[in-house]
Structure 1
Amino acid sequence: MIRILLADDQHLVREALAALLGLEPDIEVVGQVGRGDEVAGAVARLHPDVVLLDIEMPGRDGLTAAAELTGVRVIILTTFGRPGYLRRAMDAGVAGYVVKDARAGELADAVRRVHAGERVFDRKLSAASLSAGTNPLTSRERDVLRAANEGGTVADIARRLYLSDGTVRNYLSSAIGKLGARNRAEAARAAESKGWL
């Protein structure tokens, strides 16, 4: 049996996935969690073979949770088919990336293949990721753009991130230039749409 841990913040989605995968003769769902910061503890307790992780969850996002796991194969299962997310997932060492509009049989097949040691990535998203290129933003530029996206003045952002006003302006200017945007709001939207934030 392939032992699965499901991590998704939407209870109904988690239950539906558990029911669908439970119909497979060689797959057993051994646990479910609704928060990203519960994943590592559940893996330590339940010893699953494969973890299915959503990206956007409270406590910790799925990509961060995936990067913290060792000794278990991880598949990102998400609604968000953004090229940057795929790149970040690959950097986090995940073995698969499947979008939620896949058929149940495709998901079960992905679980089996990942369990067998293969890597499984959505083909359309892989092509889009290659054409989008790599994320040009530094980690600090991403932090500043995320904070700018939440609103507030340069001074507010500087206080929140423990930076000087001038440093925040420099990071914003650099990010805006790299993304070919006209202002910080447009830069944040562009980076978010590609999955770079």
Structure 2
Amino acid sequence: PRLQLEDYIDLAKENNVALLQTDKNLTINKYDIKVSKSGYLPNIGLTGAYGWNLNQSAASAFFPGTNNQTYNLNLAARLTWNLFDGGGTTVRVKNARIAYKNQELLKKQIEIEVDRDILNALDIYENRLNIYAIQEQNVITNLNNFERSQEQFQLGRITSIEFRQAQINLLNAATNKNLAKYDAKLAELQLLQLTGQLLNIEL
């Protein structure tokens, strides 16, 4: 139904794979900008170590045995701040911003292409539905013509060649109707694919 197709078209941008991929790339580019800006921030490093030592000496004739335990703990903090990196951080931030803007432009371009492709597919689908309706009417017309020719043939008013031509015309009309139905179905599938609904409906 046309109304349902319009709903699918409204949802097309939410389901289009190329647009979803572009949205993910935009998110990644946002993180790239943040990562590039981290070059402006200081680096903090923390290190720690601990140790335990047990020293046992056996008793001798002159000295008693001893047990010595020692514990140690070391902590260190380090702060580094690259105040001058030759403009590398600034270049990385600018490049990340340019990449983000390029991705935004790509998204707009894809949106325009998706709209264009859907409108074209919708026009093709409607044209093929109209052709199918015309071919259905053509079958009815040729069926009436065949029935009239059959009566005329039985009355001897037309020749067998004319009667055979009426049969051929009816067969051709039925074949054309089936081809038109097939073409309309293909156009419908193309439209459903572009709107992202091909896997969501029963064919």
Q: TM-score, normalised by structure 1?
A: 0.19
Larger relative CO (CA 8 A, sep 6+): 1 or 2?
2
Computing the radius of gyration from Cα coordinates, the structure with the larger value is 2
Higher helix share: 2
Q: TM-score, normalised by structure 2?
A: 0.19
